[in-house]
Chains A and B, each alone.
Chain A
């Protein structure tokens, strides 16, 4: 069955450093991968999307890579800030929302 793992349940880093979160998957060939941010008591909010034929995407301080050979995505937040503290979820999907699955999430804490 499909399985998605995210590196660790929680990650603590110092303000100003780069946070790197990992999303690994098995038994799946996704057409795309998305990253969401979820704050306590709120629904997930979309951050970035990367397609299977793309290697890297950037948006401001965020960068996502996608390696379909390794079946892995890396999510980087550069120059991290305490406001970046949240849970980050990766999600995989086939075209038009089919087989859309979320990972368990990584809770990131950026310490001042």
Chain B
């Protein structure tokens, strides 16, 4: 299995532009998580899907952020409009969630820089 796939790996954009991050979870996993990691705030959970349905989006910072999971093999995180403070590494993780405490498998991350 290729593991969790994220694209792009690096993104540089200018303030005000729309940014779309993509994630392909591990086949057969029914839960998907989006995280943001910065030096100041560490690893923060943004949103969590189970069977393609958003379960907890309380970590989404504001209306500029939106996430979708149209099917079991694809998810997007969109920032519109982007701001310099959105610069961070964004991770996608998936989990089979067959058990109550299932582990998460992380992708390599997308390093976003907003100028």
Contacts and interface: CB of A to CB of B under 8 A. Distances in A.
Contacts of B35: 102
B104 A104 contact: no
A48 to B, nearest CB: 9
Given A46-B104, A93-B101, A98 B56 contact: yes
B105 to A, nearest CB: 7
B31 interface: yes
Contacts of B107: 43
Contacts of B108: 42-43
A25 interface: no
A49 B103 CA distance: 8
A97 B102 contact: yes
A34 B103 CA distance: 8
A46 B105 CA distance: 7
B7 interface: no
A22 B108 CA distance: 26
A46 to B, nearest CB: 4
Interface size class of B (residues with CB under 8 A): 20 to 34
Contacts of B4: 43
A27 interface: no
Interface residues of B, dominant DSSP: strand
Nearest to A34: B103
Interface residues of A, number: 23
Interface string B33-62: 101000000111100101000011000000
Contacts of B33: 97, 100
B48 A100 contact: yes
18 contacts: A32-B101, A43-B108, A43-B109, A44-B43, A44-B104, A45-B106, A46-B104, A51-B101, A89-B43, A95-B100, A95-B101, A96-B97, A96-B102, A97-B33, A97-B55, A98-B56, A103-B42, A105-B43
Q: Which 7 A-B pairs have the closest CB atoms?
A: A43-B106, A32-B101, A95-B100, A46-B103, A102-B43, A104-B42, A44-B106
Given A44-B91, A105-B42, 8 more contacts: A31-B100, A32-B100, A45-B106, A46-B105, A96-B102, A97-B97, A101-B45, A102-B44
